[in-house]
Structure 1
Amino acid sequence: MSFTKTTEQDSKYNELENMSISQLLININTEDKTVPLAVEKALPQIEKLVEQVVIQLKKGGRLFYIGAGTSGRLGVVDASECPPTFGVPHELVIGLIAGGETAIRKAVENAEDSTTQGWRDLQAFNININDFVIGIAASGTTPYVLYALNTCTENNIPTGSITCNASCPISLAAKYPIEVIVGPEFVTGSSRMKAGTAQKLVLNMISTTTMIQLGKVKGNKMVDMQLSNDKLVDRGIRMIQAEIPIDHSEAERLLKEYGSVRAAITFYLNGN
């Protein structure tokens, strides 16, 4: 089935090298403003995907992101932020990138063209039918992602995707596709720009909504966050004081003793 790669179409702007810094910034910002509107149109697709992710995680599964280049890096970033933000194990949300750890910082030649490595990377984690795999690819054609999703389907593993081209092969391969159509980039073909921004927004929605559904947020607070620096410890103390009538020093003591905002509040409420 043929489709149009709008992410590869010519920019609406020309002679960029002749623009002033101010003109460049204004025009980039003008294009960036269109991204949230494109994401909004995809909300029904995002909802269906998140519903299934929550189901899979509640029965003991894991969430995998798999991608190449910018798309892969965005998946790795979102996965890596879940443990400190929500206090979940590092093994719950896993980001895989074509080319492995090296590719996070430096492009690995031809890594995204492999038709077998994506599935091998998933197999290294003993992927199974309780898990959920989201393929991320602005183009919607990346072989590393496409063939991994196809093999997941063959093995009854549910799949989703985040792409920026309509009716692309990866969307057709995924059971729960998300298509955010952002159109041509300011710099022709530079999908790290609007497409990358769109993917980041969608990933934020997926992981945050999923974690809230799993009970990792109370009210609007990250009560299970890891206390990995002084800023977060101070935030935790203030969160405890907002919930229970104690002074700063007592809140600090409880937080240090029990290791999390949730545990500190629970102990106090159960003991008083």
Structure 2
Amino acid sequence: MTTESPSEYQDLETLPTAELLAGMNQLDHTVPQTVAKALPQIERLVEVIVARLRGGGRLFYIGAGTSGRLGVVDASECPPTFGVPAEMVVGIMAGGDSAIRVAVEGAEDDAEQAWKDLQAYEINAQDVLVGIAASGRTPYVVGGLRQARAAGVATGCVVCNAGSAVAAAAEFPIEVVTGPEFLTGSTRLKAGSAQKMVLNMLTTATFIRLGYVRGNKMVDMKLSNVKLVERGERMLMDELGIEESEAAQLLQQYGSVRAALGSRGAS
């Protein structure tokens, strides 16, 4: 596994802070180029997710450690960003929700637990399951993908090593081979950055394709704080050519940017 290969940087404990930061930053520059090589794989999985969600299905993420946390983060950001139900994108972590903050030893080594966790959501053949594992060998993810695939669930993955067991278990694998880390084996660095980029692409492209974006604006976002209310007002001002006071009144009356636009025949 290249993610476990020795770092090209030596004697890290002897380096001044400036050199440590410069080294990490230099390696981080390689991440977008690596993700770019996987764009055709990402596109294929997006098309599958769009089709399943359009038919009433859901998107599930499973993972352990950093990979699992990234899935939970991406899933949790979809409702406020796109105004979708919380159950449309679900992140499941090996070891349960408590493992988001405190590692649960050995949870990732149970090849049967992911499928058991998914049963609580009554996962079915309308849904999509994406396994996230930098190493590409996490038993929790491999087992979950294999059992989901056997049950007719569409399966994808995001891994950072080539030719992995996780990729072999998925119908639509995404392999972003990020190579050795600055700190040997610490996949929360380059690999984690690459995984987050891919997950952001999957859900953002999916919900754009499903109509949750107008132009380049999040017209279905939840107006849950002052910043987002002000953003919504700016959207209305831009789209309708109105003053801030009128935009604020429309937003308060209709409760969402899309509904406010619709009231003016601009939806």
Q: TM (normalized to structure 1)?
A: 0.97
Alpha-carbon distance between aligned partners in 2 of 1:127 and 1:99, rounded to the nearest angstrom: 19
**Structure 2: gaps of 5 or more residues:** none
Give SS of 1:91's match. helix
Count of matched residue pairs:
266
Matched, 1:96 2:58: no
Q: Are 2:262 and 1:266 equivalent residues in the alignment?
A: yes
Tell me the percent identity.
59
Q: Which residue of 1 aligns with 2:197?
A: 201
Residue in 1 that maps onto 2:239 = 243
Which of 27, 33, 36 pairs up with 1:31?
27
The answer on 1:153 being equivalent to 2:115 is no
Residue 15 of structure 1 aligns with which residue?
11
Residue 178 in structure 1 maps to residue 174 in structure 2:
yes
Alpha-carbon distance in 2 for matches of 1:18, 1:242? 54
Could you list the per-position Cα deviations for residues 61-114 of structure 1 after superposition, in whole angstroms to 9, with x for gaps in the alignment? 000010000000000000000000000000100000001110111101111011
Q: Counterpart amino acid of 1:172?
A: A
Query: Helix, strand or coil for the counterpart of 2:57?
Result: coil
> How far 1:236 moved relative to its partner?
0.3
Question: What one-letter code is carried by the residue in structure 2 that aligns with 1:192?
Answer: R
C-alpha distance in 2 between matches for 1:208 and 1:256:
27
Q: Which amino acid aligns with 1:52?
A: V
User: Could you state the TM-score of these two structures normalised by the residue count of structure 2?
Assistant: 0.98
Paired residue for 2:48, among 47, 52, 66?
52
Letter of the 2:217 partner, please give it: K
Secondary structure of the residue that 1:128 maps to in structure 2? coil
Cα distance in structure 2, aligned partners of 1:29 and 1:197: 12
Q: Deviations over 1:219-241 (max 9, x none)?
A: 00000000000010011011001
Amino acid at match of 2:210: L
| 1:90 partner amino acid | A
Give the CA deviation at 1:37.
0.6
Q: Identify which of 70, 75, 80 aligns with 2:76.
A: 80
Of 128, 133, 137 in structure 1, the residue corresponding to residue 133 of structure 2 is: 137
1:229-259 alpha-carbon deviations (Å, 9 max, x no partner): 0010011011001111332222111111111
Cα deviation 1:199-238 (Å, max 9, x = unaligned): 0000010010001000011000000000000010011011
